[in-house]
């Protein structure tokens, strides 16, 4: 991996960490609904649910992002943690915090019951 690529991933991951780590993204959608219209309330409730769902997923992604930044610093970035093979550039571009190559990720997802975690959806 070239220095330019490393710098690029460093920037991407840092932005992600800032975005997901500050805890106040989309906070207005979590604000208590003061609308009087029933339709408004229903709509707000569903937005709130999806935002809360997003926050839960984010805490998982944030862990992945931080771990990827750690690997970047220790020059292990882009190498599959399971089989030590290079992770394909296409996969890293799509999922910069990927810790596993496609094959190992798929194997992991077959074994795990957490296929609905959202991470797997993102990595697919």
User: Which residue among 30, 47, 62, 104 contacts Zn ion (CB under 5 A)?
Assistant: 104
Chain residues 70-99 in contact with Zn ion, contact rule CB under 5 A: 80, 82-83
Region of 47 please: left (phi>0), alpha (psi -120 to 50) or beta.
alpha
Between 28 and 84, whose beta carbon lies closer to Zn ion? 84
- Give CA separation, 42 vs 35, 46, 101, 114, in Å: 10, 6, 41, 30
CB of 83 to Zn ion, least distance (A): 3
CB of 81 to Zn ion, least distance (A): 8
Q: State the residues that interact with Zn ion by CB under 5 A.
A: 80, 82-83, 101, 104
């Amino acid at each position: 991996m070239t220095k330019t690529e490393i710098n690029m991933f460093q920037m991407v991951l840092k932005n992600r960490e800032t975005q997901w780590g500050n805890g106040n993204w989309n906070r207005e959608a979590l604000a208590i609904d003061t609308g009087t219209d029933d339709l408004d309330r229903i709509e707000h409730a569903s937005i709130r649910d999806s935002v809360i769902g997003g926050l839960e997923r984010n805490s998982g992604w944030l862990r992945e992002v931080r771990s990827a930044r750690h690997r970047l610093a220790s020059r292990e970035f882009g190498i599959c943690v399971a089989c030590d093979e290079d992770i394909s550039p296409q996969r890293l571009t799509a999922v910069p915090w990927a810790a596993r190559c496609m094959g190992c990720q798929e194997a992991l997802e077959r074994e795990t019951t957490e296929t609905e975690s959202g991470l797997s959806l993102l990595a697919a």
